[in-house]
Amino acid sequence: MAKRISESLITKIEGHGSLHVDWEGRKAKLHVVEGERLFEGILVGRTAEEVHWITPRICGVCPIAHNLASVKAVEDALGIIPNPTTVLLRRLMMTGQMIQSHVLHLFFLALPDYIGLDRATELAEKDPKAFGRALRLKEVSDEIAFCIAGRNVHPTTTTIGGFHKIPDKSSLQRLLRMLEKTSPDASWTARLFTSLPYPELDADLELLSLKGDGYSIYDGDTISSSRNDDTSVKGYKEAIEEEVREYSTAKFGSYRKREIMVGALARIAINGKGLGQKARKFAKSLDLNNPFHNNLAQAIEILHFHEEAIMLIEKLIEEGMDGTVVRPSINPPLKGIGAVEAPRGGLYHEVHLREDGKVTYANIITPTVQNLTSIEKSSQTLLDSNPAASKEELKRLMEMLVRAYDPCLTCSVH
């Protein structure tokens, strides 16, 4: 009979789930017990303008990603091509989103495992300087979100075709000064996470990420696999399948029927050439078959997006900003797909609209759904490759492994 390794929910991950291991048969299963909110149903009947208001509430850790995926889907449906300022500002929002989410995961959820603490706030006493750096990074990423998106959680300024309100030059300059101050903290983070003792694991990963020009997280149009098996975003629904399992309220995703891992590690594997100068140096130490290295990949991304934010702001200031909101085109297709790389990987929103702008259909595939299958598989590999380890030790390792994927179960059950 299956016996739970953790009596209770896995701590320090977003959302509710537990690992169930059948010790005799040596099989691992991930039970997701998050309640269903049925967002795809909630959206039907709402207006196009309400979609990107509602979907960020799928996840408070990556609301900007959901917000922009929705905006993009609706714009696609309405035949809108936003202006260059809008795109730069949205990319800037996304850098804030990435740093926000990664800082939360790395310092508050993951790090305690590696330095023998129960909770991140203990670090405040043990190493106030280090903790101060983490807080500063949190602050600067929150500030990017406040400044561009209107709020650090759940944006208020974005709209279909552009922004309700764009920041003025002086607030961008303020952001720039803040980012210049936190640059050393971002580098320090990459160094710190390079030095951590990650457990060895060869999980033979297939990595999947959106791909476009450079290190694209906002406008990649190809779903690209490390096994050289690419799909256009348009075909996301055929390529990424979702399977319902009786023990989980989250569906389990796969790519062309194979387990894949998405997220920071995958992005670096696929888009690594586009990393910023400083970040690139750290990428060499990544083991692309070890899911534990997703932590390090996130740390490298903090540094990368830090550099990118500075670049984007300089560009915005230099080129000047155009706040026009682009109107829908005549005879739009009324069906659209919006894909972005959320902190945890590819996020797909699809929306169908009626003539009057009401939603008739919505489909959302989140990164964690895609990762769940891989989490189970890697857990299995961990079990299989450590026959001698005690249950206690295995339990600890498996929880660390789950955390390394940075699963967002709230996202996965939307």
Partner 1 sequence: MQREAKKLKVGIFDFTDCEGCQVKLVSLRERLLALLERVEIVNWRLGQEKNRMDRFDLVLIEGCPITQDEIDLLKLLRERSTHLIGFGTCATMGGIPAIMDQKERAKWYNKIYGPQYKPRGIDSLPLTSYVKVDFLIHGCPVDENEIVRVMEELLSGKKPAYRGYSVCFQCKLAGNPCRLINGKPCLGPVTQGGCGAICVSGGSPCYGCFGIRDTAQIEGLLDILKGMADKEEIERYFTMFLRYTKEYNEIVRPFMERENG
Residues that bind partner 1 (CB under 8 A): 8-9, 11-16, 33-38, 40-42, 46-47, 50, 53-54, 56-61, 63, 104, 108-109, 112, 118-121, 124, 135, 138-139, 142, 149-157, 159, 163-165, 244, 246, 249, 251, 410, 413
Phi, psi of 119 (to 5 degrees): -145, 155
Q: How far apart are CA 38 and CA 411, in angstroms?
A: 11
User: Residues 6 or more apart from 255 whose CB is under 8 A from it?
Assistant: 206, 208, 223, 225, 229, 239, 240, 241, 370
What is the smallest separation between the CB atom of 121 and partner 1, expressed in angstroms?
6
Q: How far is the CB of 271 from partner 1 (least distance, A)?
A: 27
Measured from the CB atom, the residue of 157 and 373 that comes closer to partner 1 is 157
Q: How far is the CB of 340 from partner 1 (least distance, A)?
A: 17
SS3 111: helix
User: Rounded to an integer, what distance in angstroms lies between the CA atom of residue 372 and that of residue 321?
Assistant: 41
Of 60 and 214, CB closest to partner 1: 60
Report whether 378 contacts 201 (CB < 8 A): yes
What secondary structure letter does DSSP report for 130?
A: H
Question: 73, 338 in Cβ contact below 8 A?
Answer: yes
CB closer to partner 1, 120 vs 233: 120
3 state SS of 267: helix
Cα 323 off chain centre by: 28
Q: Which is nearer to partner 1, 23 or 53 (CB)?
A: 53
Q: In whole angstroms, how close is the CB of 104 to partner 1 at the nearest point?
A: 6
Of 135 and 310, nearer to partner 1 (C-beta) is 135
CB of 354 to partner 1, least distance (A): 13
Task: Note whether 32 and 412 are within 8 A (CB).
Answer: yes
Ramachandran region, residue 149 (left: φ > 0; alpha: ψ -120 to 50; beta: rest):
alpha
What is the smallest separation between the CB atom of 8 and partner 1, expressed in angstroms?
A: 8
What's the min distance (Å) between Cβ of 289 and partner 1? 28
What span, in angstroms and rounded, lies between the C-alpha atoms of 155 and 166?
Answer: 13
First to last CA, the chain: 31
Would you say 23 or 108 has its CB closer to partner 1? Answer: 108
Indicate the residue among 47 and 171 with the shorter CB distance to partner 1: 47
| Helix orientation angle between 84-103 and 63-78, rounded to the nearest 10 degrees | 150
CB of 284 to partner 1, least distance (A): 32
Helix (H) or strand (E) holding 86: helix 84-103
Q: Which is nearer to partner 1, 12 or 335 (CB)?
A: 12
Instruction: Output the smallest distance, CB 119 to partner 1, in A.
Output: 4
Name which of 154 and 278 has its Cβ closer to partner 1: 154
Least separation, in Å, of the C-beta of 153 and partner 1?
A: 4
**CA 7 → CA 18, 21, 35, 201, 336, distances in Å?**
8, 11, 19, 25, 43
Token pair for 107: 């310092």
Closer residue to partner 1 in complex, CB, 100/271:
100
Q: Name the DSSP letter for residue 215.
A: S
Alpha helices by DSSP H, listed for 272-334, are 277-283, 294-319
